[in-house]
Amino acid sequence: MKSITLVRHGKSSWEFDVSDFLRPLKNRGVDDAKLVANQYVSLGLLPNVIYSSPAVRAFSTCKIFLGAFNLSEDSVTIKDDLYDFGGESVINFIKRLPNDYNSVMLFGHNHAFTSIANIFGDKFIDNLPTSGLIKINFDISDWKDLKQGTTELLIIPKELRA
């Protein structure tokens, strides 16, 4: 059994004249990521390994989760393959994961994550919102055999806001 948890980066700011890669999180993005991270931790879940896109908004979201997990930045590996908007690079990355990892968390981008959630999960989602999290379980022992799995968890920040 393998599982992938996809976390879309928090709401980012267009306020600054920076490249897409360097866009920071808005305050709402920080707040929503904290809500989702705390909800995930409250369920007693923790991945074996964490990877993040190198984009500022994705890695910033990842760092919020690391804080909730009480882990250091050394616990995450930055992978250029996750700075992907279509999904093909992310899927290829997943298929190349080491088989000793059973539970993997990825921080990245749309449309890639919504597409992957709909290709491999068994519950259609229209859009994985910013700071949204989806966990999919797979009845496989080798990542290269990635096939449709079962959507175990979907956390939407809007549903957590008081």
What's the domain range around 95? 2-136+153-157
Q: Assess whether the previous peptide bond of 9 is cis (omega < 30° from 0).
A: no
Q: How does pLDDT run across 115-159, given as a tens digit for each residue? A: 999 999 999 999 999 999 999 999 999 999 999 999 999 999 999
Domain count, the chain: 1
The arithmetic mean of pLDDT across residues 33-43, rounded, is 97
Q: Does a structural domain hold residue 48?
A: yes
Secondary structure of residue 93 in the 3-state scheme: helix
Helices 27-42, 56-69: axis angle to 10 degrees equals 40
CATH number at 121 reads 3.40.50.1240
Q: How does pLDDT run across 57-66, given as a tens digit for each residue? A: 999 999 999 9
> CB neighbours of 74 closer than 8 A, spacing ≥ 6?
none
